[in-house]
Structure 1
Amino acid sequence: MENNGDRLQKVIAQSGVTSRRKAEELIVAGKVKVNGKVQIKLGTKVAHHDKIEVNGIPLEKEEPVYFLLYKPRGVISSVKDDKDRKVVTDFLPDIQQRVYPIGRLDYDTSGLLLLTNDGDFANMLMHPKHEIEKVYIAKTKGIPTIDQLARLKKGIQADGERLRAVRTSIISTDNKNKKAIVEIVLHEGKNRQIKKMLEAIDAPVEKLKREKYGFLTTTGMHPGEVRELTPHEVKQLRNLATKNIL
């Protein structure tokens, strides 16, 4: 081990095994060894040549990779599915790293989804306190009023959870068919959150797309297309998350 290396929990998280928080719990619980010795001290620094074991399994140090996928509808936000349905990792190029989605989009929801093997990065972006804005466009059955949309900003109770939008607006309406296109901005991303919120104001979702994640968009992409994030984009996302908690 070297003093100028990386923190042990960071190395574990970047390997894709788990998040940094869970890595810290494993270290304190005595589940992590470095060069054959149990390490329970948080902040221990390790060098590239150090041999790390987590729960008795050698840590494979992978190079971190970051992808942006335009997820189509009818695809599971997972790395595998017991019903043999298409999953988001099916769209990735042939890589050695164990990549997984950051958060999820419902089976019938399309749009921007990030994937990585960097557990620390994923945990940072998913935590609501970092306030990464996610912009969704919903086609609704029924035209919500301004007062109804205001309820979403104040927050509503659904299935024992308080769900709240950062901003809402009506993009367009179809009075003849009683439908609307609504933009909703979230910081969090709870299970079926937008669908539950719009159902609560009698404007159920007919179609839903995540159009923007922070500064990232799917502009110029088609459903099913994927691209690797640039180092600058990864740095920007880290800076955005850090800025929002200062």
Structure 2
Amino acid sequence: MKLLVVEDEALLRAALTEHLTQEGYRCEQAATFAAAHEKIKLYEYDAVLLDLTLPGGAGLDVLRALKTDRARAAVLILTARDALADKLAGLELGADDYLTKPFHLAEVSARLRAVLRRRHFGGHPWLRYGALAVDPANALALVGSQPVALTRKELELLTYFLTNVGRVLTKESLAEHAWGDAIDTVDSFDFLYTHLKNLRRKLRAAGCELPIRTLYGLGYQLQAPPDATTFASSPFSP
């Protein structure tokens, strides 16, 4: 999943990014209000870790811009401020959770997993699409009871499709989600086509024909199954 870490303290920003990258997240960074504001205008994120005190502006204004744009990102506020008024202001603007510095990185991970489950997976760890079940937090994919060995990028692409069933996803948005904002500099999307081909091949070999339509000139669309995508507490729950 793709995260934006908005934090002006360089050492903390680096520690958060390294820790979350090791846990399998794709992390982008912003150290100032202007950089954060630009990134949320240009790119989509699954979650934003947001400091309230930023050079050049207020973190609450970044949060306000996110909500004005109806962004799908979950927001976890990380700040040295511990005043009740600041916490209430962030939560009332739509933040999903709030941590006061200093904090343990393990607690950030736990809170982040919780807000992602609530925001994107209906509070449950598993995504289900017909016989296919995916647990993004633990990098697991099953068809029936059979594990499917997917690479990290394949799993990120699959999760993105499953959380956007019926939506047309451009090749740019798919690439940004799995490879980050630096994708703006690439000359070809052949690497994306290869990963999509491999994802389809692996699922097909496991008995799952994922109906991803190629809409030329527009992008890709995962068609809704008859029972729609569901969220579940286990891969086999009814």
TM superposition score normalised by structure 1 = 0.24
Of the two, which has the highest radius of gyration?
1
TM-score (norm 2): 0.25
Higher strand share: 1
With a CA cutoff of 8 Å and minimum separation of 6, indicate the structure with the bigger relative contact order.
Answer: 1
